[in-house]
Structure 1
Amino acid sequence: MDHYIDITVLPDPEFPATTLMNALFAKLHRGLVDHGGQDIGVSFPDVVQSKRALGQRLRLHGSSRSLDRFMTTGWMQGMRDHVTVTPVQPVPAGVQHRVVRRVQAKSNPERLRRRLMVRKSIDAEAARAAIPDAAARMLELPYVEIGSRSTQQRFRLFIEHLEPVSTPREGTYGSYGLSSSATIPWF
């Protein structure tokens, strides 16, 4: 994680910035799936967790070689008029590090009950007793809204930036560029 690229969503009179960020992130996800590596991380340098806003800038992290290779794949097709992209740049010295991870909401008690009924072979009444309506947990995190290629349904992908730490942690990144344990440089 010694290099990065900033991609900034430009103001557009026809589309809100959140719509463009959703589209950019969906394209990024498809590009990372096609890329097949687990060596590119993502962060949102302008995130404001308390306002549930990711900001208008997405940052890719990785090695110079990996980022160069990824950017030549054409994953941004259709977005070039809506964004500015910096060249691959080295990460500044002495930066903090941060885990940027996906958080999945357990917000639908009915779905959780159905799952419990199948897994434990219990009836609806026992499932309702085990998982009351109050078990719904609403997340107060920033998110992108993307569509599933397999189910064609739209969903919110909640993204949490953990507190900065002084030492980096190695690891892999998933097809969203997020990791539950590996850090990205934070500056």
Structure 2
Amino acid sequence: MDHHLDLRLLPDPEFGPLALMEALYAKLHRALAAGGTTGIGVSFPDVKGLDLGLCLRLHGSREALAMLMGTAWLRGMRDHLAIGEISAVPAQARHCCVSRRQSHSSPERMRRRLMRRQQIDEATARERIPDQAATFLRLPSLQVRSSSTGQHFRLFIRHGPLQNDPVPGVFNAYGLSATATVPWF
């Protein structure tokens, strides 16, 4: 994670920033899933509250970022972006884990899953998972479609606390990791 590249959304009269960020992130996910890349992480340096902001920052080695940018993954998005240069991470950068958080907001869905997995009836599932079991996340999110399953879902993104030292690891096809950190500056 010694280099980064910023992709900044430009104002567009026809599309809002969230719609553009979702389209950009969908293209990135497809490119990472197709390439099997585990060495590229993402962050959203403009994140504030529930808003991810206008910048998607890609992190990785110079070679990994150059290889990604050498593909046509941004086809159709270039008019909506200011694409930065692949640059070295500043020496004073701290580190942050950018990860996916899953919401358990649908007790009904959790009951169906429990019924399938444990071969129990609906009444028993309702006893084990009451309506009050729903939890709602107050995190920024994007509506995405999984390349592997085709399912549409809300991807909640958590920027963890800042750390002084990097934590190495692998990143998934969304550029996220449960443990690895990306530079934060």
Q: Which bin holds the TM-score, normalised by the shorter protein?
A: over 0.9
Matched, 1:64 2:59: no
The Cα of 1:83 is off from its aligned counterpart by 0.4
- TM-score, length basis structure 1: 0.95
Report the equivalent of 1:21: 21
**Take 1:65 and 1:140, find their aligned partners in 2: how far apart are those partners?**
36
In structure 2, which of residues 171, 174, 180 is the aligned counterpart of residue 173 of structure 1? 171
Over the aligned positions, Cα root-mean-square deviation in angstroms equals: 1.2
> Secondary structure at 1:144's aligned position in 2?
strand
> Secondary structure at 2:153's aligned position in 1?
strand
Report the equivalent of 1:155: 153
Listed as ranges, the gaps of 5+ residues in structure 1 are: none
Map Cα deviations across residues 109-132 of structure 1 (whole Å, 9 max, x no partner).
Answer: 111111111222221111101000
**Take 1:33 and 1:148, find their aligned partners in 2: how far apart are those partners?**
9
Map Cα deviations across residues 9-34 of structure 1 (whole Å, 9 max, x no partner).
Answer: 10000000110000000000001112
Report the equivalent of 1:37: 37
**Take 2:38 and 2:21, find their aligned partners in 1: how far apart are those partners?**
22
**Take 1:77 and 1:34, find their aligned partners in 2: how far apart are those partners?**
15
Report the equivalent of 2:108: 110
**Take 1:30 and 1:146, find their aligned partners in 2: how far apart are those partners?**
11
**Take 2:14 and 2:51, find their aligned partners in 1: how far apart are those partners?**
20
8 A Cα contact 2:9 2:81, kept in partner: yes
- TM-score, length basis structure 2: 0.96
**Take 1:150 and 1:94, find their aligned partners in 2: how far apart are those partners?**
38
> Secondary structure at 1:139's aligned position in 2?
coil
Map Cα deviations across residues 22-54 of structure 1 (whole Å, 9 max, x no partner).
Answer: 000000000111221200000000001x3x110
Letter in 1 for 2:2: D
Matched, 1:184 2:182: yes
Report the equivalent of 1:145: 143
Letter in 2 for 1:77: R
1:87–1:57 CA distance, 2 compared to 1 (3 A): same
1:137–1:119 CA distance, 2 compared to 1 (3 A): same
**Take 1:73 and 1:43, find their aligned partners in 2: how far apart are those partners?**
21
> Among the aligned pairs, what percent are the same residue?
52
Letter in 2 for 1:72: G
The aligned length equals 185
Mapping for residues 72-151 of structure 1, pairs under 5 Å: 72-149=70-147
Listed as ranges, the gaps of 5+ residues in structure 2 are: none
